[in-house]
Amino acid sequence: MRYTGIDWRMLLGAAAAAALAGGSALYWRLHRPPDPEEVERQRRSHLNLVGRIVEGEVVEILDAPPRPAQPAADRKLFRKKSATAPGQSSNDGGKIICYSYSISGVTYETAQDITGLEERACLDRLVAGQPASVKYDPANPSNSILVADDWSGLR
């Protein structure tokens, strides 16, 4: 009865390795890459909460390039359905607003894609050279926004 042919230590090691491999495979299968639109929404929300306001200027208004269409399999696995306005496909380009602002003698020139926030930006009244309020992160002044989901620095 002393020798059963199976070493319980080897069996335990094999079971632990199988559990680790199975858990890793499950994590890899279920882990989704972060949605870029959600990452940007969270960045705008954070800046809206902690941001300080400084005066800036709209430099240029550009049309954003259309987003590339994703294969149906990628949309199904990795993307949530995004809400689009009636009559607007999710592949349409939006607007990019280039703006500048100065903090402590340093001038920053950057841009924000306001696709999906057009109604908040009042694009019909927006022109280059127009003053605007910019919210920036005091810990990282180069991180800024002109428009958020519930705030707009455009007048």
Residues 98 and 118 in one domain: yes
Residues 19 and 92 in one domain: no
Quick one: pLDDT at residue 8? 80
Residues 69 and 52 in one domain: yes
Residues 20 and 83 in one domain: no
Between the alpha carbon of residue 43 and those of residues 96, 140, 141, 150, 152, the distances in Å are 17, 12, 14, 13, 15
d(CA 43, CA 2): 65
Which residue has better confidence, 87 or 144? 144
User: Tell me: the pLDDT tens digits for 32-61?
Assistant: 888 889 999 999 999 999 999 999 999 999
pTM of the model: 0.66
Residues 89 and 137 in one domain: yes
User: Tell me: the pLDDT tens digits for 8-31?
Assistant: 888 899 999 999 999 998 888 888
User: Tell me: the pLDDT tens digits for 73-127?
Assistant: 455 444 444 444 443 444 466 889 999 999 999 999 999 999 888 888 788 888 9
Range of the domain at 3: 1-31
d(CA 116, CA 95): 9
First to last CA, the chain: 87
Residues 148 and 80 in one domain: yes
User: Tell me: the pLDDT tens digits for 54-79?
Assistant: 999 999 999 888 766 655 545 544 44
d(CA 95, CA 115): 6
Which residue has better confidence, 107 or 5? 107
Residues 126 and 89 in one domain: yes
d(CA 108, CA 102): 6
Number of domains in the chain: 2
d(CA 137, CA 148): 14
